[in-house]
């Protein structure tokens, strides 16, 4: 008759350390790109033809040539902006600075290599531990 396998027990302190380590890794993975300013979307100002502004001393903008049509907003869009409480000057600050989302192919490739490498590592380690358990139980 085979000996009953009893897995090793982990103490409470070790479990808390594991949880804290995993939380630190998750927060690091999520916030590190932001702290390093890698994951910040870029916004480039694109003024429509015939529209310009001058910065005032109080930081506000004095627009010239600004119309809803030049911002490429139809009457329905204009109405929605106004329902949200935006004037055409306030909406121009948002409309003329669209987000640019460019895909960093190198970054995606490195991420894929890290994820696949981690998966292979876990597969190899799991197989090793599985074989140890089988050997412990049946040898």
Q: What is the pLDDT of residues 48-105, one digit of tens each?
A: 999 999 999 998 899 999 999 999 999 999 999 999 999 999 999 999 988 877 788 9
What's the gap between Cα 58 and its chain centre?
A: 34
85 & 119 share domain? no
62 & 89 share domain? yes
| In a domain? residue 82 | yes
Number of compact structural domains in the chain: 3
| In a domain? residue 7 | no
| In a domain? residue 46 | no
The 8 Å CB, 24+ separation contacts for 36-44 are 38/107, 41/99, 41/100, 41/101, 42/99, 42/100, 42/102, 43/97, 43/98, 43/99, 43/100, 44/97, 44/98, 44/100
Domain of residue 34, residue span = 12-41
Read off the pTM. 0.48
**Helix count (H) and strand count (E) of the chain?**
4, 4
């Amino acid at each position: 008759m085979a000996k009953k396998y009893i897995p090793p027990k982990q103490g409470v302190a070790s479990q808390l350390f594991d949880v804290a380590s995993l939380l630190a890794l998750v927060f690091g993975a999520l916030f590190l790109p932001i702290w390093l300013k890698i994951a910040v979307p870029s916004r480039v100002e694109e003024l429509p033809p015939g529209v310009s502004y001058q910065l005032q001393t109080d930081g506000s903008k004095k627009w010239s040539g600004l119309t809803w049509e030049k911002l490429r907003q139809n009457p329905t869009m204009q109405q929605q902006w106004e329902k949200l409480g935006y004037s055409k000057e306030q909406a121009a600050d948002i409309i003329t600075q669209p987000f640019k989302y460019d895909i960093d192919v190198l970054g995606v490739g490195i991420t894929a290599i890290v994820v696949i490498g981690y998966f292979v590592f876990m597969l190899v380690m799991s197989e090793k531990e599985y074989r140890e358990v089988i050997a412990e139980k049946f040898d």
